[in-house]
Structure formats: C-alpha cells, structure tokens
Structure 1
Amino acid sequence: MTDDVTMERTGFVADIVIHRGPANFFDADVLRRVADLGERVSTEDDIRVIVLSSAGKHFCAGADFGSGSLADDRDRAAAEIYEHGARLFDLPLPIVAAVQGAAVGGGLGLACAADFRVASPATRFTANFTALGFHHGFGLSVTLPRIVGPQRALDMLLTGRRVDGTEALRTGLADRLVEPGDERTGALALAEDIAALAPLAVRSCRRTLRAELAAEVRAALAHELEEQRRLWRTEDSRIGIAAARARTEPVFTGR
C-alpha cells in the first residue's frame, strides 16, 4: 500500500484518508487505492460505514490536468480515473465525506460520490470546469442534480462559482456543518451514529434509495468523457487550463 492512501479503523467505521496535501489532487492510482480499500472493508463484518477524508488544508482539488499522465495522455488518464471513480458507487456501505477547504472540479465529484458531506463555513465547493474550458466529469451530471436539484446544479456547473459551507447546508450539498477544522471529527461522529444502528437495515434502505445510481453514473461518465475529449482539443481549453495554473483570468475565444 502506498502512503498516498491510508485507512484507520474506529469501532465499526473505516476512515479512508488521501495524503496528497495541500491540494490532494488525485490520479487513477489514488482512486484505485480508495476503491480497493472500500471494497475490502465492505466484506468485513466489523465495518459498517466508510468515512472518506483527506489530510491537509483541502479535501480535494480533483485531477491536475497540467502535469503527470494527465498532461501526457489526458484521454487515457481520465478514462482510468473514471473507471476507478465509478467503483465507489458500487460500494454497499454508507460513505461520509469530511470536506475541509476546497472541493473543486473532480474533488466535488468525489465528495458527491459519498452519501453525506460534513463541511464547515470555510469549505468551498466549486464546479470549475467551464472556467477550464471543458465539460464537467466524475458523474456530476447525475449526482449534483440529485443532491441539490436541477436548477442549483445548472447554476453551479455553468457559472463555476464557489459555494461555501453555509450555502451548501442550505441547499443540501452539505448534510452537517461544523466549526472549521472539525470536519473529520464531525464526519466520524455522523458515521458512528449510523454504525450504531441495525447494519442490515441500513444497507437495505441505502440499496433501495441508490438502486439505479451506479448504472446512471456509468452512463453519465461515458458521455462526460466523450465531451471532455472533444473540448480538450479546443483553444479555449488550452487557455483555461493555462490560466488556472498561472492563477490568471482566462480570456476565451470560442474556438
């Protein structure tokens, strides 16, 4: 096991932790490790709930499109990321995400793969894809409207604006609001509350409510990736990604 992803057990709760601070960018290997651990603990009788958390200042800034395999072969790398990301939706256990700092782009998608999100007023949820010049991904076509409703999802995806934890709680994007720095503690507390209940009943209720979600996400991922591949070849995408890395404002051309 790499040090990028670890797991800690507390009672009936398994906390899967990403260690790629400060931004906690993911790649296919990180998501593979998260999914592998999730699948493993799902077969163990002493684990009833999964917490997904990250070490450092931010929950997850998604994928770094300007470096590593994503810069060398973006199409292939993104397909591998989505392959392992989709596995999270197949896990039978409830997942609680501890979202501190920024959950941006694919990081927002990762947070929305969980059943619950615990945030603070300092948390920032951002679907920044249009600011980068390409289509959103990580199944957000399905998960975000399901969580906040179609119109709020449209607002977030088209404007790319930041949604803080207070607004997220009001819209349902966050399920619990805690003090800054207490996001992981709050997530563990919620997970322990769920884990104290009848585990067969919890799994059964969750299975009913999420029955079609994994299949819907996989279909959405195929479309999202097709659109991303097309738009990554545009001038606007080049401008948007370069501006994000340089921390400047992009000026798009529509080409």
Structure 2
Amino acid sequence: MREVTVNEASMSKVTLELDGHVAVVEMHAPPVNFFDREILAAIADAGERATAEGARAIVLCSEGRHFCAGARLAGVTGALDARASAAAVYEQAVRIFRLEIPVVAAVQGAAVGGGLGLACAADFRVAGPKSRFEANFSRLGFHCGFALSLTLPRIVGQTRAELMLYTGRSLSGEEAYAAGLADRFAELGEERAVAVELARELAGAAPLAVRSMRTTMRAGLLGRLEATLEHELDEQEWLWRTEDAATGITASLERRDPLFHGR
C-alpha cells in the first residue's frame, strides 16, 4: 500500500492510500470526526485523485471511535451567514456524490446527522456491533440535510426512512444490516477490513462495465441531487431561527432530552 499526497493543506485531516486498484480514504479528526467544508473538500480531492491514479473502488473510513458525527452544530448554525456556510459544505458534498467509482463506507461507531448523510453518499456501507446510524435532525429542531431526504428512502424504503427522520431514532449495526442500510456486517474492529474486502471484489470486476452500470444506476440520484440539497437548505435556513432549533441544539450539546413547543 502506498500513500499518495492529496494536497498539503488537508494532508493531516484526510489521507489517501492505494493498494492495487483499491483506494483507502481516511478522515483524521478523532474521536468523532466532525466534518467541515475543508474535510469534505479533501475527501472529494482524494477520491478524484484515486480515480486518476487507476483506483476502481474506494473505501471511505475514519480514525477514532466513530465514523462521523456530522458538522459541528455551532460551526454551521451559529455562523453569521449560516446559509452560506452550509451551502459551501454541500458544494463539496456534491463532489463526493459525483465521484466516478464505487465507494464503500466502513462505519465503526456512530454515523449521525450529516455523518449518516456522508455514509449514504457511498454506494455501500459496512457496519459492526457498535455501529449506530442516526438521522437526529428532528431531535435538533431542523430539517435533514446532506441529501438524506433523497438517499435514505432509496436505501431503506420510504416508510422506514420517514420513521428514522421523523423520530430521530437510531439503528444499531444489526438493525441497519437487517434494514438494508448496511450491506455487510463485520465483527467488532473488522469494519474496515470487510470494507476493503468488498472494495477488492468490486475492483476485480470489469471496470468499464462497472462504471457504465453505476452511471445508469445513479442517474436518478445525481439528477435530483442539487435541487434536493437546495430545498433542504431552504428548510434548514428558516428552521435554524426557531425556538425549537435553539432548544434542540442546546439540549444536544448538554446531553439531555429536549422539550419542544412548536415555536
């Protein structure tokens, strides 16, 4: 396996290693791997570089106990221009969705909020005994983002997606595997190894045929992606200004249950 430099500014936060036709793109913001625009841009850069270097599949993984806890709440909703900050994040998310080769997300620990969105941007997901998949937006008081209103129903079905989104409930790794949200279930600590194994299987197939079929299969998703993100952002923008959002975010930061009043 050889390490490839993506760009100097993001080297410490996202790394790229190539092992034959499999690329491993790893986030380094432990323990929970919050993302920002720069980290998502570095993931997109790494994916594009991997493709240019001849990779046929990508494993997206992270250092630490958790895959990704999404964006720091204060980092987006507390900004002077929250919409512009979120739009800059989603601009990089679009680049990740538009990577040209299959992506397998190795989800150890939690994939929460935008972290679940990032996992759902991948083609496939690997879970383990301590994995947790959670669309917690309704518990925070605002609309889901990262195109989850588009991706989650495609993966688990409309009704199950609505239940996850409306309640904010989490799925364990076992539950996610049973629901089809995870495509492989690994033993504890083996999530990345199983993701690499799946990526090698993908990379062993005819690459032109895989990319051609993937373009066909993802056409509906990519065709609706930017409009979906724009709509989600419209809804988030006004909801961030509500009392419920302030209540939900504060309760989350203080690790207690929120009490919403619909204001």
Q: Where does 1:39-188 land on structure 2 (aligned, <5 Å)?
A: 39-44=48-53, 46-66=54-74, 68=75, 70-73=77-80, 74-188=82-196
Task: Confirm or deny that 1:16 pairs with 2:25.
Answer: yes
Q: How far apart are the structure 2 equivalents of 1:151 and 1:10?
A: 39
Deviation at 1:69, TM superposition (A): 5.5
- Runs (5+) with no aligned partner, structure 1: none
Deviations 1:222-249 (A, max 9, x none): 0000000010000000010011011111
Q: How far apart are the structure 2 equivalents of 1:154 and 1:200?
A: 36
Q: How far apart are the structure 1 equivalents of 2:257 and 2:175?
A: 25
Q: How far apart are the structure 2 equivalents of 1:236 and 1:227?
A: 14
Q: How far apart are the structure 2 equivalents of 1:17 and 1:137?
A: 22
| One-letter amino acid matched to 2:29 | R
Structure 2 counterpart of 1:36, from 45, 70, 73: 45
| One-letter amino acid matched to 1:99 | V
Deviations 1:15-49 (A, max 9, x none): 110111111000011001111111222223x3110
Q: Secondary structure at the match of 2:66?
A: coil
* Alignment-derived partner of residue 205 in structure 2: 197
| One-letter amino acid matched to 2:187 | E
* Alignment-derived partner of residue 228 in structure 1: 236
| One-letter amino acid matched to 1:28 | R
Question: TM-score, length-normalised on structure 1?
Answer: 0.97
Question: TM-score, length-normalised on structure 2?
Answer: 0.94
Q: Is the 8 A contact 1:126 1:160 kept in 2?
A: yes
Q: Secondary structure at the match of 2:72?
A: coil
Deviation at 1:107, TM superposition (A): 0.2
Q: Is the 8 A contact 1:100 1:181 kept in 2?
A: yes
Q: How far apart are the structure 1 equivalents of 2:48 and 2:224?
A: 20
User: In percent, how many aligned pairs have the same letter?
Assistant: 56
- Runs (5+) with no aligned partner, structure 2: 1-7
Q: How far apart are the structure 1 equivalents of 2:221 and 2:52?
A: 21
* Alignment-derived partner of residue 223 in structure 2: 215
Q: How far apart are the structure 2 equivalents of 1:219 and 1:63?
A: 21
Q: Is the 8 A contact 2:112 2:135 kept in 1?
A: yes
Deviations 1:46-69 (A, max 9, x none): 311011100000000000112x46
Q: How far apart are the structure 1 equivalents of 2:222 and 2:38?
A: 21
Deviations 1:189-235 (A, max 9, x none): 10011111111111111111111211212111000000000100000
Distance 1:105 1:69, change over 3 A: closer
Q: How far apart are the structure 2 equivalents of 1:237 and 1:177?
A: 35
| One-letter amino acid matched to 1:101 | G
Q: How far apart are the structure 1 equivalents of 2:122 and 2:59?
A: 9
Which moved further from structure 2: 173-182 or 72-81?
Answer: 72-81
Q: Is the 8 A contact 2:18 2:50 kept in 1?
A: no
| One-letter amino acid matched to 1:213 | L
Q: Secondary structure at the match of 1:212?
A: helix
Q: Is the 8 A contact 2:76 2:86 kept in 1?
A: no
Q: Is the 8 A contact 1:6 1:16 kept in 2?
A: yes
The count of residues paired between Structure 1 and Structure 2 equals 253
Deviation at 1:70, TM superposition (A): 4.8
Deviation at 1:71, TM superposition (A): 2.2
Q: Is the 8 A contact 1:89 1:213 kept in 2?
A: no
